[in-house]
Structure 1
């Protein structure tokens, strides 16, 4: 065991134990930590989850146990957010992580980076426990499920935008009854699936009616088939609760007909396939039109038949009625009787009304009428004076308000004039600046063009005929023609070679053999170098005694040395 602590420095080597080293608590804890982390860098542990704790910090604490031992496990906040499977008490899992120690409590623990269920049986058991817990809360009750609208105007689809599911749904809706479709793209598999699907369902429900984005009348949550692990995101509690809380009717179309997820129980209706969900959402337009035409024809026939039956009934009832004269004779006789009594009754009524008028008019004298007129006149004059005073006060208030508004208007005009004056001065300064820049622009442009002209002239001199010859190139001529190959030079007699400081006449040799006659000397002719031309000549290819090229100032053709 002492070999494990070779790097630990002993605190004290003296004492009654002889040469045996002594360690501090921190040194011993650090040595144990290094040994455990070195021996168990990355391990996979299978066990049953016990005592799960999720504090406010976001970290995840739980135990892994079997029938004899328990290991404390921790998943930090960032790692816990990436876990595809959330550990639940009683669940058998395989945890992947690294072993470490916590010196503060003298315990070792497993830092979990990933958790996977220990086989499909564990997944099914956890799924059954979750289903039972949610069903006990009433999330799967049939009485809370809403009816699917017969013909929704807007349909919201929660699925992946790149899969074949959305294409199948849109194709079937287009074939049956085209509707306006809103697509909320989500991940339908993996660790982001549950959170994005729940957010999509709640997002559709959060759309306000009558806003710029139309609120769906029906939701479809769809995904293609897959294994239990692939569809696990739709078994998460957050997705089931979002589906149960949805105020918009929801159709679940996750997987194939044999696949069942918890969202199927919480949805208002389950479809065996995404295509079947589209068929449930809307009727067939052609069949609907045919049914409507049939109902219209039935209605027309019913109206005609009803009219005929009622006409026949009316005719039957008319035959049972007595003659019209018999019905009106009694009423006519009573009318004649009352007409004879009406004259005397009117005379009596007029006499009674006249007597009542005399009784009422007796107290009314002209003086009473004059007094009443005077009182009404005084009241009218008093109300007129009150009206004049009210109008005067109103005119005073309006005059005061007009004065306030005039003062504010004068102040506003003064501020506006100041702003316009400041803007005018700023514009004048900018105009002067632009004028100065305009005056400098031709000189700057001319200086730039002059600089470019000097640069091009230096380049012309560098690439010119004379500079090319100075770099070691030469031009070979035979008479007025430029020699460009060894065969031309071998067939020629006297050759002329131009260098940068003059020309030299030479005699071409034979084909390279030593049996030929010696060449006759040729007197070189002094040649002055040609003056440079104003425009740069085209580059001519020539062969240097080593290698090189240069243009011919007189012929402008190419030459080479052999």
Structure 2
């Protein structure tokens, strides 16, 4: 052989198998998974990273070694405890290898806290972080309602806690209670309690379920692990964000969870929460009775004091007899003078009436009526002739003013003169309308006077006018000399024959509107 032998030529005596890198990595992966399978490892959590895809990557370490851990997105909800840096835990999962990076890791699907000390350290760390955010500030806490109408209870429906709360509410002051059933321990505890608090707050007024005025989150006593769901951040934030006042009643007097700091009031026991939620009904009734008695006593004393004050003031007033004696004497004097005054007034009015009746003779009235009628006709004739002339004169004046105003408009401002023209036209129109209205009212008044003083109005009061063919008959002797007479009533005229029977009387055609059946001779 030459001095330049290939280095990959097999040497005598060598029989070791030859692997590719992928074959060796796969063999190591199969050996790890087959030899160890599912493992439980205790250690302290180091670096924690959550990828955008939702997968979770973290380290599990002790004093001398570090193991990479992976939790896929679908496994995160079942971990039980979310990994936090510095927390000592027991991780369970399947050991595997990642060939591209020559690393082995644990696919963790369950985490539990390693001991009470680790839980307490985790609790103190979470409490400090939430306190720094201000979730436990006293200024955020709301006052509890004095007497809530509806109380919402978040607890397990099958435990003794809900029975104790209902029994205490029934004894003190019965109220409406809405129960939101939740798991009070385990993995489902924290999300269900948070959803219940937010669900009660989402209820609106006027809906199928009434919105509670007060919330109670309650659970019986237990170990730190049992109560851990009420230490979860999601529950604490839901309690701090609640618009409805919330009472925390988790565990017994010595048990403390983070929801106690975020709640508006912490009750040592569920029974104490029910006692704090409502007052004692009998105490309220007794207080109302006491207040009613005090009010009645105060009113009675006030009325008595005012009555005494009125009596004291009345002693300084004069007697009613003294106040009424002078008016009573004036009334007696006026009563004594009243009959004579009435008789004197009656005599005076009767004399004035007689004097006025003396001048009211029919012939005089007829003459005055005829004169008024002539004056009315003359005024009507003058009005008919004067009105067109007045209108024509006003129209001529209007045209003259319009022409003059148009000339002024050409020399002065058109807009200002146009406004003046419109104002003058409106004033002229209103003046003419008012003048015509005045004349019309005068004419209507004269016509009403004519109708009032005319003899037709007298006929309507039961009188009649007796005529022969050309003149008015005023006496019975004159009526006897005429063969026939015409009698005018308010509703028509009839012709009668003196000294004739009732059958001889007949209505005058075309003049009588209606005649009574028993109308006959007037003589």
Question: Could you say whether these structures have the same fold, taking a TM-score greater than 0.5 normalized by the shorter chain as the test?
Answer: yes
Q: Secondary structure at the match of 1:213?
A: coil
> Counterparts of 1:115 and 1:232 in 2: how far apart (Å)?
14
Instruction: Please give the residue correspondences for 1:154-193 in structure 2 after superposition, counting only pairs within 5 Å.
Output: 154-193=150-189
Change (3 A) 1:309 1:30: same
Pair 1:91-2:156 in alignment: no
Which of 255, 260, 274 matches 2:256? Answer: 260
Other-structure match for 1:244:
240
Asked if 1:208 corresponds to 2:273, the answer is: no
Q: CA deviation at 1:322?
A: 11
Query: What is the TM-score with the length of structure 2 in the denominator?
Result: 0.58
- In 1, Cα distance between equivalents of 2:58 and 2:431: 111
CA positional deviation for 1:38: 2.1
1:470 alignment partner in structure 2:
none
Aligned in 2, Cα 1:78/1:311: closer, same or farther, shift over 3 Å?
A: same
SS in structure 2 opposite 1:63? strand
How far residue 317 of structure 1 moved from its aligned partner, in angstroms, is 6.5
Instruction: Give the one of 369, 393, 400 matched to 2:434.
Output: 369
SS at match of 1:104: helix
Give the Å deviation of 1:34. Answer: 1.2
2:271 to 272, 275, 281: 275
Q: Name the CA shift for 1:73/1:314 in 2 (closer, same or farther; >3 Å).
A: farther
* Deviation at residue 316 of structure 1 after TM alignment: 5.7
* 1:134 paired to 2:199: no
Choose from 16, 26, 35 the match for 1:20.
16
**C-alpha displacement of 1:169:** 0.8
Structure 2 runs not aligned, ≥5 long: 1-7, 321-427, 439-523
State how far apart, in whole Å, the 2-side matches of 1:130 and 1:168 are: 32
* 3-state SS in 2 of match to 1:244: helix
> Once the 2 structures are TM-superposed, how far is the Cα of residue 78 of structure 1 from its aligned partner?
3.0
- Per the TM alignment, residue 266 of structure 1 is displaced from its structure 2 partner at its CA by 0.4
Q: 1:369 to 1:135 in 2, by over 3 A?
A: same
1-structure distance, mates of 2:236, 2:430: 94
Once the two structures are superposed, what CA deviation does each residue of 1:87-113 show, in whole Å capped at 9, x if it has no partner?
Answer: 111111111222111112211111112
CA distance in 1, matches of 2:261, 2:430: 95
- Per the TM alignment, residue 365 of structure 1 is displaced from its structure 2 partner at its CA by 10
For 1:80, the equivalent position in structure 2 comes to 76
Distance 1:301 1:369, change over 3 A: same
- 1:69 shift after superposition: 1.9
Whole-angstrom CA distance in 2 between matches of 1:275 and 1:72: 48
Displacement after TM superposition at 1:369 (Å): 2.0
Instruction: Say if 1:371 and 1:125 are closer, same or farther in 2 by CA, change over 3 A.
Output: farther
Q: Measure the CA separation in 2 of the matches of 1:214 and 1:15.
A: 89
**Distance in 1, Cα, partners of 2:227 & 2:311:** 73
Q: 2:20, 2:105 → 1: CA distance? A: 22
Task: Return the alpha-carbon distance in structure 2 between the equivalents of residues 180 and 201 of structure 1.
Answer: 18
How many residues are treated as equivalent by the alignment? 326
Distance in 2 (alpha carbons) for counterparts of 1:243 and 1:101: 43
Shift of the alpha carbon at 1:304? 1.3
User: Closer, same or farther in 2 for the Cα pair 1:257/1:20, shift >3 Å?
Assistant: same
Q: Could you say what secondary structure the match of 1:101 adopts? A: strand
Deviation at 1:68, TM superposition (A): 2.6
1:223 lines up with 2:288 in the alignment = no
Q: Deviations over 1:403-423 (max 9, x none)?
A: xxxxxxxxxxxxxxxxxxxxx
Give 1:67-466 correspondences, 5 Å limit.
67-313=63-309, 367=432, 369-370=434-435
Q: 1:379-425: CA deviations, max 9, x gaps?
A: xxxxxxxxxxxxxxxxxxxxxxxxxxxxxxxxxxxxxxxxxxxxxxx
- Tell me the alpha carbon deviations over residues 344-382 of structure 1, each in whole angstroms, 9 at most, x when there is no partner: xxxxxxxxxxxxxxxxxxx99974525799xxxxxxxxx
From 40, 65, 68, the counterpart of 2:61: 65
Q: Identify the residue that residue 486 of structure 2 maps to in structure 1.
A: none
The correspondence for 2:51, drawn from 50, 55, 66, is 55
In the alignment, structure 1 segments of 5+ residues that lack a partner are 1-13, 325-362, 374-562
Which whole-Å CA distance do the structure 2 matches of 1:36 and 1:372 have between them?
A: 124
Q: Secondary structure at the match of 2:91?
A: strand
SS in 2 for 1:98: strand
TM-score by length of 1: 0.54
Q: Post-superposition shift, 1:35? A: 1.5
Give secondary structure in 1 for the equivalent of 2:100: coil
Change in Cα spacing, 1:222 to 1:371, as seen in structure 2 (3 Å) is same
Over 6 Å off, 4+ runs = 317-324, 363-366
Q: Report the equivalent of 2:488.
A: none
Deviation of 1:42 after TM superposition, in Å, equals 2.3
TM-superposition CA deviations, 1:279-334 (whole Å, max 9, x none): 1111111111111111111111111122233444555667789999xxxxxxxxxx
Mean CA deviation greater in 97-106 or 116-125: 97-106
Identify the match of residue 41 of structure 2 among 17, 24, 45. Answer: 45
Report the CA distance shift for 1:318/1:53 in structure 2 as closer, same or farther (over 3 A): farther
